[in-house]
């Protein structure tokens, strides 16, 4: 008995393996004369989470056990009418939902945050509870100028298009999270694209939301410009493309890829059994912070 007590003093049991996390899904893609696409859903145990929700709870995990990690790929944009939703990001039991696509002349797709609505008075797509917000509504002026809604962000709805100023909606803002040791904003919605028939007043693009949202496009110098991509590893939505009658449609932007960040005691060491993940680990005081920027695979701690 005494020997066991002495051994316990020199070899105390390891503390529980508690993992704080930020899981951001990929942003949606925007189509030609598309609205702004929605940001990827954001789930976090540190600083703030998406959709105005309550902070999530750290996961209590076991040593020498594999836990799945997936970093979502951004939704496709391009010259076709439709973008696609972003892909989900996953850590263990936590799934963040990919951002909603933005399509020409259609309602925005639902997602982690919703895609914006098209120029035919279309509604924005719904966001996911505790992950992100809805997209804005698109419209037109009735004589051939077209405006679209902004994509939803993790911290705010996408803005509606405004007929009076011929302006497409800005993307909703993302959420600032300090899990990495500094404040970084993630999951901003894409700005709405704008267009017009030849000879009609110029539609004004919407700008991307803070947190990697791509800017929408408009006609400039007689040429339909291309929507901007969402920023990689932020989950930002793609910006909508533009249109000029007699010239054609330009491409919308792709969504930004997601990210997974894990924070845990520096008494533990993480590994990636079997590979498949792009990750890096740093130390901050008594914690380690592992950032996963691409791939699908497993992580384990010892």
Q: How confident is the model at residue 12 (pLDDT cuts 50, 70, 90)?
A: low
Residue 271, φ and ψ in degrees, nearest 5? -140, 170
Cα Rg of the chain, angstroms: 22
* pLDDT computed for residue 29 by the predictor: 98
The closest of 254, 251, 162 to 208, measured between CA atoms, is 254
**Are 20 and 228 spatial neighbours (Cβ–Cβ below 8 Å)?**
no
* Banded model confidence at residue 11, pLDDT cuts 50, 70, 90: low
Q: Say what percent of the chain tops pLDDT 90.
A: 93
Task: Output the average pLDDT for the chain.
Answer: 95
For range 26-41, the mean pLDDT: 97
Domain ranges of the chain: 21-56+83-302
pTM of the model: 0.95
Sheet holding 243-244, edge to edge: 139-140, 145-147, 194-196, 243-244, 248-249
CA dihedral 38, 43, 47, 50 (to 10 degrees): 40
Each residue's pLDDT tens digit, 272-296 = 999 999 999 999 999 999 999 999 9
C-alpha–C-alpha distance, residues 244 and 201, integer Å: 11
Confidence category of residue 8, pLDDT binned at 50, 70, 90: very low
Residues 74-113: tens digit of each pLDDT = 999 988 778 999 999 999 999 999 999 999 999 999 999 9
């Amino acid at each position: 008995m005494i020997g066991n007590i002495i051994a316990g003093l020199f070899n105390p049991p390891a503390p529980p393996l508690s993992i704080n996390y930020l899981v951001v899904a990929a942003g949606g893609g925007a189509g030609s004369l598309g609205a702004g696409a929605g940001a990827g859903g954001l789930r976090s145990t540190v600083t703030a989470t998406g959709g105005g929700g309550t902070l999530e709870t750290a996961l209590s995990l076991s040593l020498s056990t594999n836990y799945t990690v997936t970093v979502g790929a951004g939704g496709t944009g391009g010259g076709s009418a439709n973008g696609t939703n972003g892909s989900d990001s996953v850590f263990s039991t936590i799934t963040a939902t990919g951002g909603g696509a933005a399509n020409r002349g259609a309602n925005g797709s639902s997602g982690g945050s919703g895609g914006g609505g098209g120029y035919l008075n279309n509604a924005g797509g719904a966001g996911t509870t505790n992950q992100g917000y809805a997209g804005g509504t698109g419209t037109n002026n009735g004589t051939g100028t077209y405006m679209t809604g902004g994509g939803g962000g993790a911290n705010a709805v996408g803005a509606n298009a405004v007929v009076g100023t011929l302006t497409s909606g800005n993307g909703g803002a993302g959420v600032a999270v300090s899990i990495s040791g500094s404040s970084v904003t993630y999951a901003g919605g894409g700005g709405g694209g704008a267009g017009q028939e030849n000879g009609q007043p110029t539609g004004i693009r919407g700008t991307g939301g803070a947190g990697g949202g791509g800017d929408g496009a408009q006609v400039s110098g007689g040429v339909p410009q291309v929507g901007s991509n969402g920023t990689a590893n932020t989950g930002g939505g793609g910006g909508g493309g533009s249109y000029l009658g007699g010239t054609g449609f330009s491409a919308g932007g792709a969504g930004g890829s997601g990210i997974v960040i894990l924070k845990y005691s520096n008494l533990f060491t993480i590994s990636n059994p079997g590979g498949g993940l792009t990750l890096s680990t740093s130390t901050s005081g008594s914690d380690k912070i592992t950032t996963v920027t691409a791939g699908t695979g497993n992580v384990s701690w010892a």
